[in-house]
Amino acid sequence: MELINNSQFNIGYICSKLQCLSGRADKTAFKFITNKFAEFEFSFNDLEINTNKFANLLKKIGIVKGDIIFTLLTKSPEQFFSFIGSLKLQAIIGTLFSNFGEDALYDRLSDSRAKVLITKKSLLKKILKIHHNLPELKFIIVTDIEEDISENILSYGKLMSQVSEKFEVEVTHPDTPSVIHYTSGSTGKPKGVLHAHRSILTQQMTSREILKLNQDEKYWCTADQGWVTGTSYGIIGPWSLGVTQIHFEGAFNAASYLKLLEKEKVTIWYTAPTLLRMLMLSDEDFYARYDLSSLKHIFSVGEPLNPKVIDWSRSVLNKEIYDTWFQTETGAIMIANRPEMPVKPGSMGKAALPEIKPAILSKGNNCLEPPNNVGNLCIEKGWSSMFLTYLNNAGTYDGKFINGYYYTGDEAKMDADGYFWFIGRSDDVINTAGHLISPFEIESAMLEVPEVLEAAAVAVPDEILFEAIVVFAKVKEDVGDVEELKLKIRLFLSNRLSTVATPKDVVIIESIPKNKSGKIMRRVLKAGYLGTTAGDTSTIEDF
Amino acid sequence: MSVSDELNKIFREVFDDVSITVNDSTTADGIEGWDSLSHINLIVVIEKRFGIKFSAKELLTFKNVGDLKVAIEQKIMR
């Protein structure tokens, strides 16, 4: 790898110090645009200084290599300084989606035994509700308070003003743990996917070879830093190449987004199919108001990009959209469309790099030869951004690898030209707007609603979100206004788990169908809801 | 209870935050966590509590809480 010298694999070092040493100290690392469109520019030298200070801040409060730090922030400069600064110290950094509710936050902070949380005042109240149950959480650092609130709740600004701008990053071994993201599986609580500093190899190469990032580009990745795309391609990949990014604090709004693409002369845009489908809702003459001539390429990630969006972009924006595929566990793009090869609308594309070897395997772990045999989408073990483990869950990690292949949980096929095509999930995990969520998590939360006796959650197709959540509840008798109860369940899920877990519909039913071993038969519920056939129902115990 | 008071109560319930106080000029940028999904929650609760329905086109015209309040008042007066 061209940017790693003296075997220094430290992501923080490569994204800041090395960029300064390579003559980019004065170059803009990122322009931060607030939701009111105020602009703040930070050079790579600013990034270097602020991340050095953050590493020193952590050191000052007793944090050492291997300790786990989390951020709970909306897009802000402090998010980036905390992330890179923690990595410089070789602490492990995780990012939490700012709309997580207290149950989701508790699950992640308690499982990881996080020692420090960086947050802002308006999000602090969610943490204070659970703080008493998090004995390992030693410090909460708040980015927008002037003075410390207590001996454990400290002012970011005050701490940063007390530490040195210089920090010597120790030579970091490629297998040193770096970033943690929690992800949903089909069973149990979310699992902490732990990555290593070596992930930067794949993140940098895919940024260059797939996203076509080079130092002349102006790049905008719309993903929130709470998710893997936001860290792998909103921080690490582009900055490892010295690329200028824009980061926008505001929520999605078609006019704001188009205005930013035009005004900032963004050349490479990495976004999500859900967002593109929301853009499609505007009339065609709306787009004619914006000059997108600077925009060279649009890439998407999160959930399958339907051909309709590609056709729309070709005719309305006069741009091609290149869909990419990866997972939290893979750390970087594994399969992708790209400018130098024809796009087959609806396809995932081809293997992203020579080191990445996807395959379609049968249930018996045999390779299914193309074309068009449907099976498990697997990746041959050994790519650089492969996750290290599931934190505290080595057994589950081991179970993901069979005969040297990582099983992704997706079903796919490969055509005669080597293009992969997504078919569906091989488990019940729901992909809503690019976010994976386990039915188990939703059902567990629903059972906390006092009126709910039994619960089930399924995915149904959705034109905007790809999949939407529909929940079913068996409730106590005499619950009063059923419509009010449905609202209560909806808001409970949204506030306790995340807005991502908000159901499209809440259905009250007599009983939840289960098989003889007590497993919820979600396909039966889904078929009933969609008015399709449920297939074999002979094993239903109670319906 | 006035429309403004009821709306304020709904915002507190939807965003699970008793400290929220909205006024006519409040926008999504002024409420932590007001994203496209919580916006749907907000509309669903408003429709239920006021016994009204919004069309998809109407939803696109609301720029702030004041717009929302005017639309509610017009519907409940009909």
Contacts of A494 in chain B (CB under 8 A): 14, 37-38, 41
Query: What whole-number percentage of chain A has pLDDT above 90?
Result: 85
Contacts of A36 in chain B (CB under 8 A): 29
Q: Is B21 on the interface with A (CB under 8 A)?
A: no
Among A residues 5-34, those touching chain B with beta carbons less than 8 Å apart: none
pLDDT in tens, A429-454: 899 988 889 898 899 899 999 999 99
Please report how many Cα atoms fall inside a 13 Å half-sphere around the Cα of residue A125, on the Cβ side: 11
- pLDDT of A463 > 50? The answer is yes
Round to whole Å and give the CA distance between A56 and A520. 50
Q: Is A250 on the interface with B (CB under 8 A)?
A: yes
- pLDDT of B61 > 80? The answer is no
Query: Residue A2 — very low, low, confident or very high, per pLDDT cuts 50/70/90?
Result: very low
Contacts of B14 in chain A (CB under 8 A): 491, 494
Out of B29, B36, B41, whose CB is closest to A491?
Answer: B41
Interface probe with B: pick from A34, A99, A274, A279, most Cβ of B within 10 Å:
A99
pLDDT in tens, A324-383: 999 999 999 999 999 999 999 999 999 999 999 999 999 888 889 889 899 999 999 999
C-alpha separations of A477 from A396, A503, A508 in Å: 40, 23, 12
In 3D space, the residue among A441, A456, A431, A451 whose CA is nearest the CA of residue A507 turns out to be: A456
Q: Cβ contact (<8 Å) for B45 and A491?
A: yes
Round to whole Å and give the CA distance between A452 and A474. 6
Q: Quick one: pLDDT at residue A539?
A: 60
Position A45, amino acid: N
C-alpha separations of B54 from A219, A277, A437 in Å: 38, 21, 29
Q: Cβ contact (<8 Å) for B33 and A499?
A: yes
HEC profile for A439-457? Answer: HHHHHHHHCCCCCEEEEEE
On the question of a common fold for A11-411 and A430-542, the answer reads no
Q: Is A125 on the interface with B (CB under 8 A)?
A: yes
What does the DSSP assignment read for A138-150?
-EEEETT-SS-SS
Q: Quick one: pLDDT at residue B39?
A: 87
Interface probe with A: pick from B19, B32, B47, B64, most Cβ of A within 10 Å:
B32
What does the DSSP assignment read for A461-521?
EETTTEEEEEEEEEE-S--S-HHHHHHHHHHHHHHHTBGGG--SEEEE-S---EETT--B-
More confident residue, A187 or A215: A215
> Where is mean pLDDT largest: A45-59, A460-474, B4-18?
A45-59
Query: Residue A255 — very low, low, confident or very high, per pLDDT cuts 50/70/90?
Result: very high
C-alpha separations of A169 from A17, A93, A236, A241 in Å: 9, 16, 17, 19
Number of domains in chain B: 1
Question: Residue A300: beta bridge partners?
Answer: A271, A323
B12-35 mean pLDDT: 88
- Helix A121-128 and helix A102-112: axis angle, to 10°? 80
Q: Quick one: pLDDT at residue A398?
A: 96
Round to whole Å and give the CA distance between B69 and B59. 12
Round to whole Å and give the CA distance between A12 and A179. 11
Q: Cβ contact (<8 Å) for A491 and B28?
A: no
Could you give the 3-state DSSP secondary structure of residue A99?
coil
Instruction: Return the number of other C-beta atoms located less than 10 Å from residue A392's C-beta.
Output: 13
Q: Quick one: pLDDT at residue A543?
A: 43
Beta strands in A157-237 (DSSP E): 177-183, 191-196, 218-221
Looking up residue B63, the CATH number of its domain turns out to be: 1.10.1200.10
The dotted CATH code for A11-411 is 3.40.50.12780
Contacts of B48 in chain A (CB under 8 A): 483-484, 487
- pLDDT of A186 > 80? The answer is no
Minimal CA separation from B76 to chain A, in Å: 20
Minimal CA separation from B74 to chain A, in Å: 24
Q: Is A122 on the interface with B (CB under 8 A)?
A: yes
Residue A349 DSSP class: B
- pLDDT of A177 > 80? The answer is yes
Query: Residue A105 — very low, low, confident or very high, per pLDDT cuts 50/70/90?
Result: very high
Out of B28, B35, B48, whose CB is closest to A499?
Answer: B35
Contacts of B16 in chain A (CB under 8 A): 101, 491, 495
Round to whole Å and give the CA distance between A233 and A220. 9
pLDDT in tens, A51-93: 999 999 999 999 999 999 999 999 999 999 999 999 999 999 9
C-alpha separations of A49 from A20, A44, A356 in Å: 11, 9, 36
Out of B13, B33, B48, whose CB is closest to A99?
Answer: B33
Instruction: Return the number of other C-beta atoms located less than 10 Å from residue A23's C-beta.
Output: 11
The two three-digit tokens of residue A220, written as one number = 């905008």
- Cis bond leading into A503, ω under 30°? no
Long-range contacts from A281-286, C-beta under 8 angstroms, 24+ separation? A281/A254, A282/A254, A284/A316, A286/A254, A286/A255, A286/A258
Averaged pLDDT of chain A? 94
Task: Find the residue in B nearest to A255 (Cα).
Answer: B60
Q: Cβ contact (<8 Å) for A502 and B40?
A: yes
Minimal CA separation from B65 to chain A, in Å: 16
Q: Quick one: pLDDT at residue A3?
A: 46
Instruction: Return the number of other C-beta atoms located less than 10 Å from residue A157's C-beta.
Output: 16
Q: Cβ contact (<8 Å) for B14 and A101?
A: no
A142-161 mean pLDDT: 97
Q: Quick one: pLDDT at residue A5?
A: 55
Could you give the 3-state DSSP secondary structure of residue A229?
helix
> Where is mean pLDDT largest: A297-301, A519-523, A534-538?
A297-301
Show me where the domains of chain A are located.
11-411, 430-542
Q: Quick one: pLDDT at residue A1?
A: 44
Position A382, amino acid: G
Q: Quick one: pLDDT at residue A184?
A: 84
- pLDDT of A517 > 80? The answer is no
Q: Cβ contact (<8 Å) for B16 and A484?
A: no
More confident residue, A365 or A31: A31
Minimal CA separation from A353 to chain B, in Å: 35
Round to whole Å and give the CA distance between B64 and A342. 44
Give the total residue count for chain A: 543
Interface probe with A: pick from B16, B42, B64, most Cβ of A within 10 Å:
B16
Q: Is A494 on the interface with B (CB under 8 A)?
A: yes
> Where is mean pLDDT largest: A38-42, A314-318, A523-527?
A38-42
What are φ and ψ of residue A113, in 5° steps?
A: 55, 45
Q: Is A495 on the interface with B (CB under 8 A)?
A: yes
Q: Cβ contact (<8 Å) for A122 and B38?
A: no
Among B residues 37-76, those touching chain A with beta carbons less than 8 Å apart: 37-38, 40-41, 44-45, 48
Q: Quick one: pLDDT at residue A535?
A: 67
Interface ipTM: 0.88
Round to whole Å and give the CA distance between B19 and A301. 37
Q: Is A251 on the interface with B (CB under 8 A)?
A: yes
Round to whole Å and give the CA distance between A267 and A287. 17
Position A227, amino acid: W
∠ CA(A73), CA(A81), CA(A1), 5° rounding?
120
Among A residues 68-87, those touching chain B with beta carbons less than 8 Å apart: 74
pLDDT in tens, A295-330: 999 999 998 898 999 999 999 999 999 999 999 999
Query: What whole-number percentage of chain A has pLDDT above 70?
Result: 97
| Residue span of the structural domain in which B22 resides | 3-77
Topology of domain A430-542 in CATH is GMP Synthetase; Chain A, domain 3 (3.30.300)
A397-409 mean pLDDT: 95
Q: Quick one: pLDDT at residue A180?
A: 98
Query: Residue B60 — very low, low, confident or very high, per pLDDT cuts 50/70/90?
Result: confident
Report the phi/psi class of residue A2: left, alpha or beta, with left for phi > 0 and alpha for psi in -120 to 50.
alpha
The two three-digit tokens of residue A495, written as one number = 């506030």
Q: Quick one: pLDDT at residue A317?
A: 93
pLDDT in tens, A503-515: 999 999 999 998 8
For chains A and B, CB pairs below 8 A equal 49
Q: Cβ contact (<8 Å) for A499 and B32?
A: no
Q: Is A256 on the interface with B (CB under 8 A)?
A: no
Q: Cβ contact (<8 Å) for B37 and A484?
A: no
